[in-house]
Structure 1
Amino acid sequence: MKRVGITGQAGFIGQHLFNYLGTKDEQQICRVPFERALFEDADRLATWVASCDVIVHIAAMNRHEDPQVIYDTNVGLVKKLIAACEATASKPKIIFSSSTQEEQDNLYGQSKKDGRELLEQWAASSGGSLTSLLIPNVFGPFGKPFYNSFVATFCHLLNNGGTPEVHQDAEVSLIYVNDLVAHFFEHITNGESGVNFHKIPAPVQQSVRQVLKKLEGFKTAYVENGQVPDISEAFDKDLFNTFTSYIPKDYFPRKFVKHTDNRGAFVEIMRAGTSGQSSYSTTVPGITRGNHYHTRKVERFAVISGKACIKLRKVNTDKVYEFYLDGNEPAYVDMPIWYTHNITNIGDDELITLFWINEPYDPEDPDTYFESVD
């Protein structure tokens, strides 16, 4: 078992890596929690460092009005990490998150390059192990708008009444955060030692304007018309899951249009530009289904008969969102990735729920992780 700590655990990439490691066998990975305050307390930082077999150093400042502050902060964090290792004679495997901006003429990129070289000197002199990863532009759910990436900014603006603008259109190398943390996991678990440097390939090349056009299409199809767009391509699915993570939770539940005549009623449950699997369940009063989350699947719960309470909670957070649905006014709620969710029959009669998910269930790769909402 490897004891793994992540500096910057609460940040965009850090939280995704922390959660990803949480899906692994506890006999393989033990997560050692990190909090930002450790960098302000040398003794606590030293204790934390000594408890780790592997440290993934992600903590860094990306933006500030004074570039020198960015440089001083990032190099300073590396120096504190090295000092903690030296104070405890610890030799954890350090995985350093660098950036393709090392190759550019700016102080953020310089801070990454100089930080990497300091860690290389530590590893060489102490007999420690360092793996540096040169990372392209990262996008994914829960990124901080106006800070982590232009994708986060565009998604935030489109879902909150803003209007994204392209000030400089250019080809951008992109990697989805789920793919990136899989690279981290590979280097956490492999037997590589010594000083190593790897450039993470960017699976996608897109212009800023192309990305915006796709996101605007998602807003029209999904937010305005309730239709899941064509997400058959991996990048489109990843971008769609990123986009939906910025939709305010009060967007749900969404009521269906119910057509009624002398024969009865008709309700269209799902319209999608992509393939998927539909199913339904019946649930007796008082019973709860679910209590699991997905990391990639797009899923819809549609209550067509009975009364239900649907609950959502983002993994590793405490806030629970509740949605009440009644089959007399058929409605749906879509399940965001990384949100554990359940559905409870709160009525006196049988609950009938229709489920749609964008990929058929595969027992060899279910992408289903059990965790109670409450």
Structure 2
Amino acid sequence: MKKIGITGQNGFVGSHLYNTLGLSPEKYERVDFDKSYFEDETKLDDFVKQCDVIVHLAAMNRHEDAEVIYNTNLDLVKKLRLSLEKTNSQSHVLFSSSSQEERDNLYGKSKKEGRELLLEWAKKSGGKFTGMIIPNVFGPFGKPNYNSFVATFCHKLTHGENPVIDNDGEVKLIYVGELVQEIITQIERSETIELYEVPHTSVNKVSEVLAKLEIYKNLYFDNGEVPELNTSFELNLFNTFRCYFDMANHYPVKFKQNIDPRGAFVEVIRLGIGGQCSFSTTVPGITRGNHFHTRKIERFAVIKGKALIQLRKIDTDEVLDFYLDGNEPAYVDMPIWYTHNIKNIGEEDLYTIFWINELFNAEDPDTYFVEV
């Protein structure tokens, strides 16, 4: 059992790492961190004492004054190093650096000097150190205009704005879930590596990424059609895009009913990929679900009866309630990292069609049970 602490625990990469480690409680114990610890030596020392592994992700990426970025990032490293020294820690420290280390800017300079300070500590103390050079990261819940151009594009396309490309160059990208697995691999490796260049998983022009996102906007956001997804990059990009919806106002989406003397016909889903489609009945008062997925795309379509569908992002308290009625058939799609359920709140059996984009595999179910 490794005790792992993450500075920047609530940030973009930090929150994904924290939540992923939480999926393996038999292997990892998470030591909670709050950014206020950097202003309280006692709390920072208590945190450091508990940790077998510290992943230092806390940093400032953007500010109108580059000197502020430089000073802030270096100050955080110095405070962490001082605490490591005071507590005689022999932790394994992993440091998140950037390909901008070799560029002539103060952000890159702060990363390089910070990495060198922690490496120096490890050599003197007998601790372990991994300096990770990380490519451009994208994924769900990144801040627009801060973490990634992908986050900015997704937010704009789902909020009635038009993205603008400033520089249409090629960008080396890694999905945040892939980066998290790289970090966990290095934690398990538990060796000193002065400089480890995390391999990117795709190379794309900015305009190519925007073109794919515009397809997702037109097909999926506007019309509910799941697009063709041929690569892991496309699946990851699509799952990223889905997390930028204003879900409270987007769902439930009503189906178009085609009614004639025979009755009614509704197309439940149109898609460019396969998957598994299921039908269920649920008796009054019963709740199904209370689980989340980290990669799967899933749709709940209510065609008869009354239902309450609830969603909650797993590291928040906000619960989204959606009321559906079979008299106006509608659907709600489940974003990744949102635990969800469906309850029959009517007086008759509830009829629901479930679609998910991959066949169920008992050895890799990607299904984690958490109460909404």
Alignment TM class, shorter chain as reference: over 0.9
- Describe the superposition over 1:246-303 as per-residue Cα deviations: whole angstroms up to 9, x where unpaired: 0101100000001111111100000001111101111110000000000000100000
Match of 2:91 in 1: 92
> Which secondary structure state, in structure 2, belongs to the residue aligned with residue 297 of structure 1?
coil
- Contact 2:128–2:190 (8 Å) recurs in 1: no
| Distance in 2 of aligned mates of 1:171 and 1:130 | 31
CA drift of 1:197 comes to: 2.2
Q: Deviations over 1:219-245 (max 9, x none)?
A: 000111110111231111100111110
Query: What does residue range 227-306 of structure 1 map to in structure 2 within 5 Å?
Result: 227-249=225-247, 250-306=249-305
CA change 1:222–1:195 in 2 (3 A) is closer
Paired residue for 1:167? 166
Spell out, residue by residue over 1:282-334, the C-alpha distance to the aligned partner (whole angstroms, 9 max, x if none): 11100000000000001000001111000000011100000000111100000
Q: Counterparts of 1:343 and 1:188 in 2: how far apart (Å)?
A: 38
Code of the aligned partner of 2:222: E
Q: One-letter code of the match for 2:9?
A: Q
Tell me what 1:218 maps to. 216
What is the one-letter code of the residue matched to 1:82?
Answer: R
User: Is 1:315 the counterpart of 2:291 in the alignment?
Assistant: no
**Whole-Å Cα distance in 2 between the matches of residues 112 and 280 of structure 1?**
53
Q: Cα distance, 1:191 vs. partner? A: 3.5
In structure 1, the partner of 2:7 is 7
Would you say the 8 A contact 2:101–2:111 is kept in 1? yes
In structure 1, the residue matched to 2:188 is 189
Preserved contact between residue 273 and residue 357 of structure 2 (Cα < 8 Å): yes
Shift of residue 195, structure 1, vs aligned partner: 4.5
Cα distance between partner residues in 1 of 2:205 and 2:193: 35
CA contact (8 A) 1:4 1:55 kept: yes
List alignment gaps of at least 5 residues for structure 2: none
> Where has structure 1 moved over 3 Å in runs of 4 or more?
none
Q: Counterpart of 1:20?
A: 20
Shift of 1:27: 2.3
Aligned to 1:359: 358
Superposed CA deviations along residues 21-56 of structure 1, whole A, max 9, x for unmatched, are: 0111x2210001111101110110001000100000
Distance in 1 of aligned mates of 2:363 and 2:132: 30
Give the counterpart letter for 1:151 in structure 2: V
SS at match of 1:157: helix
TM-score by length of 1: 0.98
CA distance in 2, matches of 1:231, 1:282: 30
In 1, Cα distance between equivalents of 2:111 and 2:369: 38
SS at match of 2:280: strand
Q: Classify the secondary structure of the residue corresponding to 2:96.
A: strand
Asked if the contact 1:7/1:55 (under 8 Å) is kept, the reply is yes
Superposition TM-score, scaled by structure 2 size: 0.99
Corresponding pairs, count? 371
Structure 2 CA distance for aligned equivalents of residues 280 and 67 of structure 1: 56
Aligned match of 2:108 = 109
| Structure 2 CA distance for aligned equivalents of residues 344 and 232 of structure 1 | 34
Q: In structure 1, what is the Cα distance between the partners aligned to 2:292 and 2:361?
A: 15
Distance 2:26 2:263 in 1: 56
Contact 2:100–2:108 (8 Å) recurs in 1:
yes
Contact 1:124/1:195 (CA < 8 Å) preserved in 2?
no
Note the 1:29-178 alignment, pairs <5 A: 29-178=28-177
Give the equivalent residue in structure 2 for 1:335: 334
- Kindly provide the amino acid, as one letter, of the partner of residue 362 in structure 1: N
Give the aligned residue type for 1:200. Answer: V
CA-atom RMSD in angstroms: 0.8
Match of 1:130, SS state, is strand
CA distance in 1, matches of 2:193, 2:167: 37
| In 2: Cα distance, 1:113 partner to 1:359 partner | 42
How far apart, in 2, do the equivalents of 1:195 and 1:126 lie?
15
Query: Does the CA contact (< 8 Å) of 1:232 and 1:275 recur in 2?
Result: no
Moved more, 226-235 or 288-297: 226-235
